[in-house]
Structure 1
Amino acid sequence: MTAVDLPAVPRVLIAEADPASRELLEQVLSGVRCDARVDTCGEGRQALDLLASHPYDLVIADWELPGVDGLAILRGLRQQHRTPPLPFILMSRRNDSASVREVLPLAPTAYLTKPLNRENLTQRLQGLLVGGGEETSNDAPVPGPGLTLPTFLERRRDLSEGAALMTDVQVAIKRSLNPGGLDLKLLEEELRTDPQITAVLIAAANSAAQHQGGGPVQTVAQALHQLGTGQSMNLILGLTLKRCARLSIPCLTDYAERYWELSLHTAEYARTMARLLDLEPERCYCAGLLHRLGDLALLRCLEEWKQAGGDLDEPEEVGDSLDKFGAGFGSALRARWRLPLELRELIAAVYNLGGGVYSREALVMNMAAQMAHLPAHEGLEELARGRTARLLKIGLPELTRLRRK
């Protein structure tokens, strides 16, 4: 199970006899998902009673529980042939090969040896309870002899965690709070300009929507409504805990600001033009905002490379990497996060209309991108004579008004 398959408020059972270990588990779990409902017990029979009484989304149990041990609990759950299997983290002081072989056929979600490593435990729980994509191993290759930057980027392309954050999440959440709690409308206004948050929320909401029989979610407002306040807040806060969540290297920050600004201009032009033509403005805005997600994700991976001790010749090597890998990073992210096909088609139209019949929204995205790239006060006449403008039946007067808005 992935993070986005969970209900808005996951219920977790911790079965651990040692009070100190139980307290550590509760603390880490609270830090990862503060809204989780947590039940605890100190012996196996009580754990079985709780499992019989409540539908859990995750079980964390010690092998050496008194009474009925954790392995027996796991075996009993697997014999129920639940689909998908209930996520189960088994803990033990046993790290010998015979014990591992005994556990493997029961397919625990994770097997953690004691004493527990807080960082490793946090990462495991984040993978299960927080995030907007598939649960995958996300360890970055370490720069060293024989590992070149292009090889590093090739390996990271399908494991990238996305773009760095362009918004101060803590400030955004504080501004969105009112006496009644978190105001989703205010939160939308605070976060709608951040490509990473937008993509993660949409990916999470679409996974939830599929389980609830809903249609595709393609905007931040729809995603927040689908997920609700608790899951939305924890998904967003979880992004701040990731490696290189904010860029710190000046050269990379400058590139990111330029790509972000270009994305915002494209999004604003797309929304304004869609309103003019009675289309879906917010979906067009979202497509414009996300069209440089791959370049921003690549810059984050370059920060990982640099922080891990890799050499980076600025700005030549940064520019070359963006030219070579940026588009691939974007395609991989959109596919891995399963962004809706309709939204991905609009993003693709930003770059190229291709052949065939075009939707009016696709034409809007292509025109918006062309306008965003125009120098100030230049090029509108040529744009008005172009193919996209002719297909949209937009002339120089309309383009001039759009530029002034």
Structure 2
Amino acid sequence: MSLSPQLSSVLIAYSEPWRLDQLCQLVAGLRPGMLVAAFSDGRSALAACRRQLPSLLILDGELEGLDGFGLLRELRRHGPSQRLPCVLISERTDAPSVRAALPLAPAAYLGKPYDLDDLRSRIDRLLPRSAGGLARGPLGDDSLDSFLERMREHCRGAPLGEAAYAAIGSLLAGQTELAEEHAVLLGDPQVTARAISFANSHGPQQAQPSQTLAQAFERLGRTRSGELLAQLASQHNARLSDPQLAGLAGRLADQALLAAQLAAWLARRLQLDAAACHTAALLHNIGELALLRTLQDWLDSGGALQPDDLPRQLALRAAGYGSALRARWRLPLGLRQLISAYYALGSGVLGREALVLNLARQLLELPADRPATALAGCRAARLLRLDAAVLEQAPRALRD
């Protein structure tokens, strides 16, 4: 395909979602109507440039996969993109790094954190004038609702739980091995979802997709699994700094782990796939967790939260965030169907694992003063032909 630019457009590739959103809004303010393509990893951005060359690049030097330096180096090898203007933003501002970037001929080389007014001025000089004039209004004065709506397709998922973060730290320090920390990592929704996603998209091709953390780690191998974990721990807001958001995230993560333990227990009693049930139940509320991480991004970008914002946004957007994540990460269809069954049973033929997921939710939602046997007549228990005595034994509290 041709690499010559045909339309005025800007390609922005930045690793931090709220910074990526901020840069998109900056360009929209400077040139209303200009096409903007946003990416969070270097390889996707390079593929887009090869399909259609933009008018301007804004690149994060520390992109995942292929960093901004490597991306620009690839583009400079081809005639049409050798003179493509690029704003390169990097945490590497020492003299050797700046000298090393000179052969790549960036139009601007800025350090992190960038000065917004300076960046706006530089981008305005580099953008074609035909798409609109300089907008002088303040940036970042949009509403929480519009911010969250834009971020839904770009969020990084859930924050890491404290136990998982500590386990990864021990692994990276060489104090423990992956096998020793597996039980801790097995209880973390973000680690589980990202490992499954990464293994299926970057691991060796296999007839069946990975659906559990153990399968994903086996497919990736120790070295690549360790690299993925290091990347997850180093991401912005891998842990939430706001006490209210962090506290709620901890409670939601505990709820996910309890659901996973209960679903796996039921599956084992019925001689079903306990690992798949554990994974699906663990990921059932990753949308809520991802939304909390995005709300931390909102606070970091200078926004504020009103008392009713948190419950309102969770009720309004958590399900959408979860659906968007599962689709974007291309989690296996069977796993997504089990997650859906946690919330509701369809009218068609139901797999027994789906019934287990649904029953696990009902058990967890049952008031503590009501016995589990109260659910003996529910649809899921009846179709599973589950004895009331088994329900009575079901764990309804976290186990160590």
TM-score by length of 2: 0.66
Deviates more, 1:212-221 or 1:347-356: 212-221
1:336/1:112 CA distance change after superposition, 3 Å: farther
Alignment partners' CA distance in 1, 2:181 and 2:326? 24
Alignment of 1:200 with 2:194, yes or no, is yes
Q: 1:252 aligns with which of 245, 255, 269?
A: 245
Could you tell me which amino acid in structure 2 is paired with residue 165 of structure 1?
A: L
- In the other structure, the counterpart of 1:301 is 294
Change (3 A) 1:115 1:233: farther
Q: Which amino acid in structure 2 is aligned with residue 160 of structure 1?
A: C
1:386 matches 2:381: no
Aligned-pair CA distance for 1:267: 0.4
CA distance 1:217–1:96, shift in 2 (3 Å): closer
- Deviations 1:150-207 (Å, cap 9, x if unpaired)? 111111111111111113556313545898x973322322311111111110000111
Read off the aligned partner of 2:373 and give its amino acid letter. Answer: E
* Matching of residues 35-114 of structure 1 within 5 Å: 71=76, 73-74=77-78, 95=85, 113=106
* Residue in 2 that maps onto 1:229: 222
Report if the CA contact (8 A) 1:256-1:299 is conserved: yes
Structure 2 residue aligned with 1:173: 168
Match of 2:146 among 139, 142, 151: 151
Shift of 1:115: 6.8
Read off the aligned partner of 1:372 and give its amino acid letter: L
Structure 2 counterpart of 1:349: 341
Give RMSD over aligned pairs. 3.6
Measured in 2, the distance between the counterparts of 1:297 and 1:168 equals: 18
The change in CA–CA distance for 1:178 and 1:305 in structure 2 (over 3 A counts) is closer
Gaps of 5+ in 2: 1-38, 45-60, 88-103, 114-137
Letter in 1 for 2:181: L
Whether contact under 8 Å (2:355, 2:380) holds in the other structure is: yes
Letter of the structure 2 residue corresponding to residue 328 of structure 1? G
CA distance in 2, matches of 1:387, 1:96: 59
CA displacement at 1:239 relative to structure 2: 1.6
Deviates more, 1:248-257 or 1:359-368: 248-257
- What SS does the aligned partner of 1:163 have? coil
1:221, 1:5 → 2: CA distance? 27
Alignment partner, residue 264 of structure 2 = 271
User: 1:342 is aligned with what amino acid?
Assistant: G
Count of equivalent residues: 302
Give yes or no for contact 2:155–2:290 (8 Å, CA) kept in 1: yes
How big is the shift at 1:262? 1.4
Q: If the length of structure 1 is used for normalisation, what is the TM-score? A: 0.65
Which contiguous aligned blocks of 4+ residues in structure 1 show a shift greater than 6 angstroms?
A: 1-6
> Which runs of 5 or more structure 1 residues have no equivalent in the other structure?
7-27, 37-57, 64-69, 79-89, 98-110, 121-141
What is the one-letter code of the residue matched to 1:196? Q
Which of the numbers 175, 179, 185 marks the counterpart of 1:185? 179
